[in-house]
Structure formats: structure tokens, C-alpha cells
Structure 1
Amino acid sequence: MSKTTLAVIAAVSAGAGACATAAMYTLRSSEKKIETIATTTTTTTISKPTTAPGVPTNQVFSQSTAPVNPSGLFEYGFPGPVNDLASRTALISSYDRRTRNPHWVAEHITAASLATHSGDRKNSAFVEDAAVPDKFRAHLKDYFRSGYDRGHQVPAADAKWSQAAMDETFFLSNMCPQVGEGFNRDYWAHFEDFCRRLTTSYPSVRIVTGPLYLPKRDPADNKWYVRYEVIGNPPNVAVPTHFYKVIYAEGTTPGGPVALGAFVLPNARIPNDKPLTDFEVPIEAVERASGLEFATKLPPQRRKRLCADTNCSLIIKQYADRQKAFPKK
């Protein structure tokens, strides 16, 4: 990855931190919180200008005496949240209603989970996520003839241990529009295989995956812009410019070292001979670009760099031909 791209990722702030926080609450808990806010007396400092000398410009009002009541809006309904949190057997995800893509999806794989083959993707079908309100939902028709694959964020191959678990990976809330040939069916698939192979060296591997929308400099005016395609009819599903994975490779000792790796890949054709380490970035770069935080509770003395602890290289397999055999349901 070029120094310019690294600088962009490190500098950009998606402003989505508050959205990720909001995703941790259901609508019910949010309404309960709002009800508490509306019924609890608070003290608000309101600046009140005065011309009288010696009179303070700040006066303290209780909510009952303040001239405004912003929380009165909630009488008509709560505007948020803009994220839907789903906890399923195979994954936990935060779905972004604005982009119709997941904001992040977390999974856990082990050697044992990958060794069990009770699920077959031929028995799974892409489905819309009924847990998301219809007007904010990605629909099957949005991808129809769009030119993009329905790209799993948690791969179906990571959930072969159960047919029900594999079926959960086919919700559209686990999908993003991805370039097919050269990416989703090739380099990205090899990257997913790399993550699975980590379980031969680490007994527990946790992965967070999601889309990014990164700026690009316009040569016409030398300014930076975030531009991405939107698919669907009406257009409402954003096409990410990049994707990230943050990997936590855990050792055998509880409370021991954790090998961390962060990678950002463009949503574009990538030659299979491109080294994976070219896409390795500091974890802080993904945080700045996504508005998320990773491993905040993991102290520095327990952290190791994944690609210094193991060989970060891909094994090229012919996934594209194999995927052609799967029916597109």
C-alpha cells in the first residue's frame, strides 16, 4: 500500500463513532434512556447576555425553568438508531442503515470449528434481513445486474460447522457489493483462506471485517473527495471503496500475548501475486477511517504484530471456477 494511501487512511475520519456506539443499544433501550432523560431534572448552564456591570453572564436554570425543552421532540418518536445490532450464532454485526451495508461484522474461528463440515453452501440462499426495517434494508433486487457480487463479510466457509450457522452468513446484512473477478472470487477469497490457516498456529482467531469509504484526490482541483457508486432501484446500496479486516490471533495462555493484524484492501481487481503485506496498515489507521476502536482494552505489553509473529502470505487457489458451480439463489 502506498504512503499516500496510508496517509489518507490515517487522516480520514468517518465520523461514525457515535453510530457504532448507538448500535450497542436496541430501540427499546434507547427509548427507555430517552424516557429517563425526559423525566429527570437536570441542571443546564445557559449563556444569557446582560449589559449591567457586575452581573454574571451565565445563569443556571433547572430543566423545569429553562426556556427550551429539546427532549420534547421524543413525544413524536426517537430519530435513531442508525445502526442495527444483530447477535447470531456465527457472527455479530452492526448494520448501517444509511449505506445498506454492515458497519462491522465480528466472527470467531478455531481449528475445531473449521474441521466440522455439517453445512453446505449449496443448501443456503441469499436472503434479505427481516430484522432490519424494510425501508432501510438491502434487497435482493438491488444487486440484480449491478455488476457486483454479494460479498460475504463473514465467509460461508467459516461456518461449515452448522447448516444453520452457514445460513446466517447469507443475510444481506452480512453482504457488501464487491468487485467479482479479481477480488471477491480471487484475492479476497485467498485472504479469507489465509485467516482460516491462522488456526493452525493459533488456537483462537477473532476477525472484524467491514467496508470503508476513503477519499481520493481529484487532479482537477487537488482536493480530496469521498466518491462511491450506489446501486439498486432506487439507488440506495453504497459500493465501498475499500474493505478492512482486523485480526486477533490468540495464544494458548489466557491473558497472554495476542497477535494483531490490520489490513485495508481496495474494492478492485488485485493481482494474485501482490504481497498481502502491501495491504498491512497500523490498526490506528483503520480506526481513523472507520470511526471504530479495536483492542482498546488490550494493554500494549500483550500486543504482538501478526506479520512479525507469522508468515503473512497467501496460497493461491482456484476459487473462481469452484464458485461457478454454486447456484445463485
Structure 2
Amino acid sequence: MTITVIPATTPPSTGIAVVGNLTDIGGSANQQFFDDGTNGDQTPGDNIYSYLAVIPGDITGGFRNVTATVSDAQGRTVNLNQVLTINAPLPDDDPLLFGNPSNATADIANENNYLMLKPQYSLSYNRSKATPNWVAWRVDTTWLGDAPRQDDFRPDTALPVGWYRVESADYTGSGYDRGHMCPSGDRTRSIPDNSATFLMTNMVPQLPANNQGPWEQFESYTRTLANQGNEIYVISGVHGNAGTIAQGRIVIPLVTWKVVLILPNGTNDLSRVNKGTRAFGIIVPNQPPLNQSTPWRNFRVTVDAVEILTGYDFFSKIPKGTQEIIERRRDRE
């Protein structure tokens, strides 16, 4: 956060101080801002006062107010207010309630398993592949409405500074679709929700026969389940390397996969999972030959099978005995 200060001249300002109230984002009520090249400040002595704030990992999404006061030794003050938007899961709608499958973290040093939390979905980003490792979201009828498809594919500016930000044009002429992980159709409650699914961090190079065939069929099936009174926790991702597009920047996956856990609508979801809870996965080839009309059920597997493929641990917060039963069960519905 930065505040640009224009010192007074009559008489000249001395002893300038900038203090912010960061309690709404988990910080101090009297946080000093700096103009000495530390604490996030870029250039000492340029009258741009800065503070690099870390948002606690357990803070919920929404709007937060940050206020600040600028003062000088001559007794002059200026009060400032800024509204920040915290991109984090909404209360009671955390798609990682049952566990973080790869133990992704929001540490920029963890660049190939980098956790990004958004109101609409959460993801683990892989800088070296320029795709997500996985994307997690929850769908029920509260997420479904009549907002139109936005088609506003664009770079994700939430990526750390200096990381390549994939452009929509990077897929042009590649022979691969900009394949959504969290689908547009699962986020139609509002235009901002739908627009969020078109960030390129939610995309992978997907074979058209996959994306427009069994993949889309399965997306529609999970929305049918939601409309029947269920809530579905979905984690979707990629595996393998079949080459690259965009001058080598973006890796083409060999397969795409999903795991789902299905519960009747309710509250206290973690405590409601039992040995009869329905959970399964799909693994779909992302290379030819693939018939677009092949039913999605032909690619159905156990959750265990997706864990073996990826090395991830799904639903790790569910008690071990229950987790083992639902993950090895073959789905027949």
C-alpha cells in the first residue's frame, strides 16, 4: 500500500508521518508507513510512503476499509480512506473445506504450487507450466442464475509481479481450446462471478473433443445434481506433458481429471460426510484419438485412481476410515 504525500510549503512541512489503521485486514491500528526503502517502500525520500501488508490466511472474502492519517510537525493533518477487496472464499463456501490436495501455499517461492484464493474458486498455480495444477470450487443452486456468459478471457493480474501472465491470444492457432477448469456454467449468479471464470489462470490447453465432449457433459451432469437439491465439491486439474504452445510457455496436459464429492444441501458439511457419501472421479485423455460423443461415464474412476495418477491427497480432512471407503468405492449411478 502506498500513500503519496505532497509536503506543504508555507511554512514547509517537516516531520511528516503516515499512520494507517489496518485492523480491518488483520493488522495494527497504528501502522507506520515508510519512505526509507524498507517495508515495501521502493525509493527512499521520494515522499511515497509505503507498507507491505500480509493478509492473514484465514480472513474471509469481501470489502475492507483501510484508513490513514498524514501529519507534519506543523500540526497539519489529512485523513484518507481506501476500500480493499479481499479475494478469498466467501463464508461457508470454502471449496477446500475437505482439504488442500497438494498443500499449496501463498508463498511466491512455492512457484509451482502457488495457492490463489478467489471468491468463486481456489487454485494451485504452476508457474513453470503456466496452467493451474488444480482448481477447486463448490456448486449448488445459490451459484446458478441467469448471468450471461462473458467470454472476457484475460490475464490474471493477481499473479505475482514478474510472472508471465498468459494472454487469450497465446492459444490462437494452437489447435487447443481455452479449457475452463471451473466452468462458466457453474458461476451464473452474477456477471462478476461469471467473468472470474475467464481469467487465464483458470484455463488449460484442452483438446476440443475433450472440452466440448465428455468434459462438458460432466459439467452439465453436476449442475443437474445441484438442481436436484445437492451441493457438489469439485476439484479439477491436469497431468502430464504433451508438448507446449505459446512459444513453449504453456504446457499441454496429457489428461484432464476431476474428483467430486456430493452431499444433500445442508450445513456443517464436514461433519455430514459418512461412509455412504458419494465421491468419484473422471480421467479424460487430452490427446487424439478421442471421440467427442463418448459418454463421460466411460472415463469414470475412483478417487483413489486420481490420487495414484497425481500424487495428491483428496479429502484429507475427512476421518481416515470414512475417507478410505468413499475414495475406493466404484461409482455406479
TM-score (norm 1): 0.61
Relative to structure 1, the CA distance from residue 276 to residue 99 in structure 2 (aligned partners, 3 Å threshold; closer, same or farther) is same
The structure that is helix-richer by fraction is 1
Instruction: Name the CA distance, whole Å, in 1 between partners of 2:136 and 2:233.
Output: 7
Aligned to 1:207: 234
Relative to structure 1, the CA distance from residue 250 to residue 240 in structure 2 (aligned partners, 3 Å threshold; closer, same or farther) is same
Equivalent residue in structure 1 for 2:152, among 112, 125, 134 = 125
In the TM superposition, what is the alpha-carbon distance from 1:135 to its structure 2 partner? Answer: 3.7
1:291 aligns with 2:318: no
1:250 aligns with 2:263: yes
Relative to structure 1, the CA distance from residue 134 to residue 232 in structure 2 (aligned partners, 3 Å threshold; closer, same or farther) is farther
Relative to structure 1, the CA distance from residue 158 to residue 266 in structure 2 (aligned partners, 3 Å threshold; closer, same or farther) is same
Report matched runs for 1:250-289 at 5 Å.
250-252=263-265, 254=268, 255-256=271-272, 257=274, 258-268=277-287, 270-271=290-291, 274-289=294-309
Aligned to 1:157: 185
Equivalent residue in structure 1 for 2:249, among 236, 239, 260 = 236
Report matched runs for 1:47-196 at 5 Å.
79-114=109-144, 116-117=145-146, 119-121=147-149, 123-132=150-159, 133-180=161-208, 182-196=209-223
Give secondary structure in 2 for the equivalent of 1:20.
coil
Consecutive unaligned residues in structure 2, runs of 5 or more: 1-99
In the TM superposition, what is the alpha-carbon distance from 1:207 to its structure 2 partner? Answer: 0.3
Instruction: Name the CA distance, whole Å, in 2 between partners of 1:165 and 1:290.
Output: 29
Aligned to 2:27: none
Say which structure, 1 or 2, has more relative contact order (CA 8 Å, 6+ apart).
1
1:281-318 per-residue CA deviation (whole Å, 9 max, x = no partner) reads 2222212322321012223347544724xx3xxxxxxx
Give secondary structure in 2 for the equivalent of 1:99.
coil
In the TM superposition, what is the alpha-carbon distance from 1:202 to its structure 2 partner? Answer: 4.7
In the TM superposition, what is the alpha-carbon distance from 1:102 to its structure 2 partner? Answer: 0.3
Root-mean-square deviation (CA, aligned residues, Å) is 2.5
Aligned to 1:33: none
Aligned residues of 1:19 and 1:82 also touching (Cα < 8 A): no
Match of 1:271, as an amino acid?
N
In the TM superposition, what is the alpha-carbon distance from 1:162 to its structure 2 partner? Answer: 1.1
Match of 1:206, as an amino acid?
Y
The number of residues matched between the two structures is 222
Instruction: Name the CA distance, whole Å, in 2 between partners of 1:285 and 1:252.
Output: 27
The structure that is strand-richer by fraction is 2
Give secondary structure in 2 for the equivalent of 1:136.
coil
Relative to structure 1, the CA distance from residue 228 to residue 243 in structure 2 (aligned partners, 3 Å threshold; closer, same or farther) is same
Aligned residues of 2:263 and 2:278 also touching (Cα < 8 A): yes
Give secondary structure in 2 for the equivalent of 1:228.
coil
Aligned to 1:20: 102
Instruction: Name the CA distance, whole Å, in 2 between partners of 1:108 and 1:288.
Output: 23
TM-score (norm 2): 0.61
Aligned residues of 2:106 and 2:116 also touching (Cα < 8 A): no
Instruction: Name the CA distance, whole Å, in 1 between partners of 2:232 and 2:256.
Output: 19
1:81-119 per-residue CA deviation (whole Å, 9 max, x = no partner) reads 3333221121111111111110110111112322x22x2
Consecutive unaligned residues in structure 1, runs of 5 or more: 1-17, 28-78, 214-226, 312-329
Aligned residues of 1:151 and 1:175 also touching (Cα < 8 A): yes
